[in-house]
Chains A and B, each alone.
Chain A
């Protein structure tokens, strides 16, 4: 398979305009500018490219939702890659920043946008410096600014560095953060396409999604749609990490078998170890087990299996790792990152951590698992954004799929701490009878 996103990725100096242009860079932009914006938009629609950030909404459709007419409209690139296990955008921005910039200019032309921003997480300082340099190069070469390459398109691009908050990867949290506030998500609707940044129509796309745009223009939307499987067109960067021998980013055609990704590409778990569970799409996706390894890696198949493709980050956990440890690590992360705006998420993440700690401290009974599962049910769908759901879904799936292990962990911890069931029940104060 020819690489689309990773074409020439390790070419030394690809991050400079000179090498990028020598490799055919900005040719797609020149071609796009020869057509009308709606013709370019038609190509994006025909490609059926689904958003690569996690939600998987079709990019062309999202762009078509922006109102027409002369007004300030915004394109925001979501480069706040913070989903645990995900590191694909980092490699794209670091090694091929111009591909992203070119994709943004074409997307801006198609959606008739005149101002654009890249919101990059503050921790990616090295990648931000590389992008800053690339933006200056693109401005000097006339790819950004007024009347780009003699066309009607005018576009500004500003790189905005965040300061460390997972919630700013949520699109409306990102918009608030970009407006200089705390990154609290907003109520939807109105959706950003109608009222986004500064209350103006806003198109928000992930780095990988926008980096794919030049390839779509180059090969045509229909040809792109022919790659992959139904409802999952194109190639996808998959970040594979955890207990595998060759962790890293791999560009694969959607619909490849998950086993091939984990074993053939990433080398599988270390010798003598098996796979206990794996997250198919970042830490927010419900876990799958070794029985699910033959699933085709695409949006629909993973959704049917009760999980999701998410950001395309596979985290492999081997059979020597206690599932309770994984659950506790996750729950602590979401507790830390909850913005605190909605009660079910703020309190639910906190209580989930406390209940998991009780398990480890030998103070829990199997009934706690049911209470914990019910807490998860009360988070899902009850908040402004899906941060709470992002904890609740994997935790629920772990309790459902590994309940015997949770129960054994509870028993073992109780014995370790010398708390037998009898002592526990005796220690519970009995309410005095009313006379």
Chain B
């Protein structure tokens, strides 16, 4: 395999703020015969490709699968997806750098997205974000990020912890979330969004509007 220059963080992906290296020859489609791909990752990518009329539509699902497997969209991960999808690493890199949920540098395994958009910030989301950062401290297992509107303004301020929406959160919940995640427990389960009843008082059901509250 040709040796590709890396950035200091280990990736060949420059990101938005760094210029691309125009001297470098573009990488072609990786040779499937010599690119090793973990069996389960290959299976996931091939299953995704089969869902669409055009296999390239599977870029995002395939990168999700690769990120889950490798922890981030590492050069190896991109190379493997490219080999299975028969596209160039450059095409996938373009996709990986565009979307907020793809990590192009190594990050902690537990994703904590704190929504800091308008409705949440009106309820103190910026302080919550600081509290989450402080609670996670230098624990490399956490990836605490401030995120744009997560679509849960009814539980502001809120956070998504490993894909589970939690809110409304108080500053003290930050420590609890970190402790629960470290212990392998569901974090602050009583604040899970899926447990909330509809706010509309006109909603009637056989078991009453507050049945799930």
Q: Which residues of A contact B (CB under 8 A)?
A: 1, 3, 6, 8-12, 72, 81-87, 89-91, 94-95, 115, 121-126, 158, 160-166, 177-183, 198, 239, 241-243, 246-251, 265-266, 283, 313, 315, 317, 321, 326, 329-330, 333, 336-337, 339
Is A161's CB under 8 angstroms from B60's CB?
Answer: yes
Say yes or no: A333 contacts B57, CB within 8 Å: no
Which of B57, B113, B119, B197 is in CB contact (< 8 Å) with A180?
B57
Q: Give A317's nearest chain B residue, CB to CB.
A: B122
Contact of A91 among B118, B198, B204, B212 (CB under 8 A): B198
Asked if B101 is at the interface of the complex by the 8 Å CB criterion, the answer is yes
- Can you report 7 A-B residue pairs in the complex whose CB atoms are below 8 A from each other? A115-B53, A123-B101, A166-B148, A179-B54, A241-B156, A315-B118, A315-B119
Q: Is the CB of B165 within 8 A of A126?
A: yes
Query: Whole-angstrom distance between the alpha carbons of A275 and B14 in the complex?
Result: 45
- A248→B198 contact, CB < 8 A: yes
Tell me the B residues contacting A by CB distance below 8 Å.
51-54, 56-61, 63-64, 94-95, 98-102, 113, 117-119, 121-122, 147-156, 160, 163-165, 193-194, 197-207, 209, 211-212
Q: Which of B61, B117, B152 contacts A329 (CB 8 A)?
A: B117
Complex contact A179–B198 (CB within 8 A): no
In the bound complex, do residue B194 and residue A164 qualify as a contact, i.e. CB atoms below 8 Å apart?
no
> In angstroms, how far is the closest chain B Cβ from the Cβ of A165?
5
Interface of B is mostly: loop
Give 7 A-B pairs besides A126-B194, A160-B60 with Cβ atoms closer than 8 angstroms: A6-B198, A91-B198, A94-B194, A126-B163, A198-B53, A246-B199, A247-B119
B126 nearest CB across to chain A (Å): 9
Q: Assess whether A241 is in contact with B98, with CB atoms less than 8 Å apart.
A: no
Contact assessment for B154 and A87 in the assembled complex, using a CB-CB cutoff below 8 Å: yes
B153 partner residues in chain A, CB cutoff 8 A: 84-87, 239, 241-242, 247, 313, 315
Complex alpha-carbon distance, A135 and B57, angstroms? 20
- Complex contacts, B63 vs chain A, CB 8 Å: 163
Is A163 in contact with B99, judged by CB distance below 8 angstroms?
Answer: yes
Q: Which of chain A's residues have a CB closer than 8 A to the CB of B194?
A: 94, 126
Residues of B within 8 A of A122 (CB): 60, 64, 99, 101
- Would you call A81 and B99 a contact (CB within 8 A)? no
Contact (Cβ within 8 A) B151 A123: yes
Q: How far is the CA of A9 from the CA of B201 in the complex (A)?
A: 12
Q: Give which listed residue, B64, B100, B121, B152, contacts A87 with CB less than 8 A.
A: B152
Taking a contact as CB atoms under 8 Å apart, the answer to whether B205 and A179 are in contact is: no
Please give the distance in Å from B78's CB to the nearest CB on chain A.
Answer: 14
- Minimum Cβ distance to chain B for residue A90 (Å): 5
A165 to B99, CA, bound (A): 6
Query: Chain B's nearest CB lies how many Å from the CB of A398?
Result: 12
Residue contact B151 to A87, C-beta cutoff 8 Å: yes
Chain B positions within 8 Å of A321 at CB level:
122
B51 to A177, Cβ gap below 8 A? no
With contacts A90-B151, A179-B54, A315-B118 known, is A250 near B102, CB below 8 A? no
Q: B95 near A337 (CB under 8 angstroms)? A: no
Contact for B151 among A124, A158, A266, A330, CB less than 8 A? A124
Q: Check if A162 sits within 8 Å of B54, measured CB to CB.
A: no
The reply to whether B149 and A82 contact each other, CB–CB distance below 8 Å, is yes
Q: Are A283 and B154 in contact (CB under 8 A)?
A: no
Are B60 and A241 in contact, with the CB atoms below 8 A?
A: no
Indicate which residue in A8, A83, A121, A180 contacts B54 across the interface (CB closer than 8 Å).
A180
CB distance from A297 to the nearest CB of B (A): 15
Q: Are A180 and B98 in contact (CB under 8 A)?
A: no
**C-alpha gap A53/B206 in the complex (Å):** 31
How far does the alpha carbon of A115 sit from the alpha carbon of B54 in the complex, in Å?
A: 13
Query: What are the residues of chain B within 8 A of A315 when measuring CB–CB?
Result: 118-119, 122, 153
A85 to B153, CA, bound (A): 6
B54 / chain A contacts, CB cutoff of 8 Å: 179-180, 198
**Within the complex, which residue of A12, A115, A336 is in contact with B212, where a contact is CB–CB below 8 Å?**
A12
Do A82 and B99 form a contact, CB below 8 Å, given A91-B198, A158-B51? no
From B53, B149, B200, B204, contact of A84 by CB (8 A): B149
Q: Could you tell me the distance between the alpha carbons of A258 and B59 in the complex, rounded to whole angstroms? A: 43
> What are the residues of chain B within 8 A of A158 when measuring CB–CB?
51-52
Q: Do A165 and B211 form a contact, CB below 8 Å, given A84-B117, A115-B53, A326-B118?
A: no
Distance between Cα atoms of A246 and B211 in the complex (Å): 18
> Smallest CB–CB gap between B86 and chain A, Å?
12
Do A126 and B193 contact each other (CB < 8 Å), given the known contacts A87-B152, A182-B95? yes
What CA separation (Å) do A347 and B26 show in the bound complex?
29
Instruction: List the B side residues contacting A6 at CB < 8 Å.
Output: 198, 200, 202-203
One of A1, A11, A181, A183 near B202 (C-beta < 8 A): A1
- Whether A248 lies near B151 (C-beta < 8 A) is no
Q: How far is the CA of A75 from the CA of B193 in the complex (A)?
A: 30
In the assembled complex, which residues on chain A have CB atoms less than 8 Å from the CB atom of B207? 10-12
A249–B151 contact, CB under 8 A? no
- The residue in chain A whose Cβ has the minimal distance to the Cβ of B56 is A180
| A165 touching B98, Cβ below 8 Å | yes
Let me know if B119 and A248 touch, CB within 8 A: no
Most chain A CB atoms below 10 A, which of B94, B99, B200, B205: B200
